[in-house]
């Protein structure tokens, strides 16, 4: 059963209040290879990218770069 208009509006409002969006630019083919890598580990493309960024930030916390 498709979502009602009210549910779609509620979802859009929730996303606007709780999420931020940004664009990642990479060479052609990179998206697919990352997507396949993530899927093989049971993760979504988005989840994998966010986790990878967070892990790198944690590893390099306090380093002078």
Q: Where are the domains of the chain?
A: 26-65
Say what the pLDDT of residue 14 is. Answer: 98
- The whole-number pLDDT of residue 13 equals 98
Q: How far apart, in whole angstroms, are the C-alpha atoms of residue 4 and residue 50? A: 30
21 band by pLDDT with thresholds 50, 70 and 90: very high
Can you give the pTM of this predicted structure? 0.75
Report, as an integer, the average pLDDT of 29-57: 97
The count of residues in the chain is 65
Q: Where residue 40 falls among pLDDT bands split at 50, 70, 90?
A: very high
Per-residue model confidence (pLDDT) at position 18? 98
């Amino acid at each position: 059963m498709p979502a009602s208009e009210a549910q779609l509006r509620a979802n859009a409002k929730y996303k606007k209040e709780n999420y931020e969006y940004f664009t990642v630019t990479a060479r052609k083919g990179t998206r697919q290879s990352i997507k396949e890598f993530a899927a093989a580990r049971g993760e979504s493309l988005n989840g994998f990218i966010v986790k990878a960024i967070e892990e790198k930030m944690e590893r390099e916390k306090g380093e002078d770069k």
